[in-house]
Amino acid sequence: MKKSRLKIVINAPVILTFVLISFIATALNEFTGGATTVMFFMTYHSSLTNPLTWLRFFTHVFGHSGWDHLIGNMTYLLLLGPMLEDKYGSADILEVIAVTALVTGLVNYFFFPNVALCGASGVVFALILLSSIVGVRQGEIPLTFILVAVIFLGQQVYEGLTVQDNISNMAHIVGGITGSIFGYILNKKK
């Protein structure tokens, strides 16, 4: 009788690649004293004629201020991402990540010109809201989606108005809205 062997499989290539790039970006941040993060993995108000400004609109989601920041975001990504990538496919999840990065980068650039932004929090919130709408059927809105939206986005609005910290509540809110829109679109496609 032949014994079956367990093997490790790459079950979510987009999410795993995102985590790997974020890990490398954070290691470079530590190694270079933050220089690589400022150059490649953080969006801030810089000239729109600079090609790196446009690159950073997408790559700021890979940069993190340190290991704690990275671990917090990657935990959520690794919990939610594989399920969503399995349901919607790698191409759709890559699109959710890219659009969320671009939208949060542009909103930060135009509405918060004195604030630098880095981290995957917007993407995490997009996936949180996207995951809460996974089981949608035609003509129905899941109560869990409403509760998640009210709790998570409500908390971000409240904290954005009352708490002074280095957390970008804007990225959380914009990411959550982006994830909700994608959830609606992707479920309508299926």
Nearest to 93, CA basis, from 153, 189, 188, 179: 179
- Amino acid identity, position 33: G
- Alpha-carbon distance of 152 to 23, in angstroms, equals 26
Burial 104-125 (b: 16+ CB within 10 A, else e): bbebbbeeeeeebbbbbbbbbb
pLDDT of residue 166: 54
pLDDT of residue 2: 72
- Do residues 100 and 81 make contact, with C-beta atoms less than 8 angstroms apart? no
User: N- to C-terminal Cα distance for the chain?
Assistant: 42
pLDDT of residue 177: 86
* DSSP characters over 61-120: TT--SSHHHHHHHHHHHHHHHHHHHHHH-HHHHHHHHHHHHHHHHHHHHHH-TT--B-SS
pLDDT of residue 185: 83
Distances, alpha carbon 104 to alpha carbons 43, 83, 132, 152, 174, in Å: 10, 24, 21, 17, 6
Nearest to 153, CA basis, from 133, 174, 139, 134: 174
- Alpha-carbon distance of 11 to 2, in angstroms, equals 25
Q: What is the pTM of this model?
A: 0.87
Each residue's pLDDT expressed in tens, for the chain with a length of 190 residues: 677 788 888 999 999 999 999 999 999 999 999 999 999 999 999 999 999 999 999 999 999 999 999 999 999 999 999 999 999 999 999 999 999 999 999 999 998 888 899 999 999 999 998 888 776 666 677 787 788 878 877 887 777 666 565 556 778 888 888 888 888 888 777 6
Burial 49-59 (b: 16+ CB within 10 A, else e): eeeebeebbbb
**Quick one: 75 exposed, middle or buried, by C-beta within 10 A (0-12, 13-18, 19+)?**
exposed
pLDDT of residue 139: 67
- Alpha-carbon distance of 41 to 26, in angstroms, equals 9
pLDDT of residue 190: 64
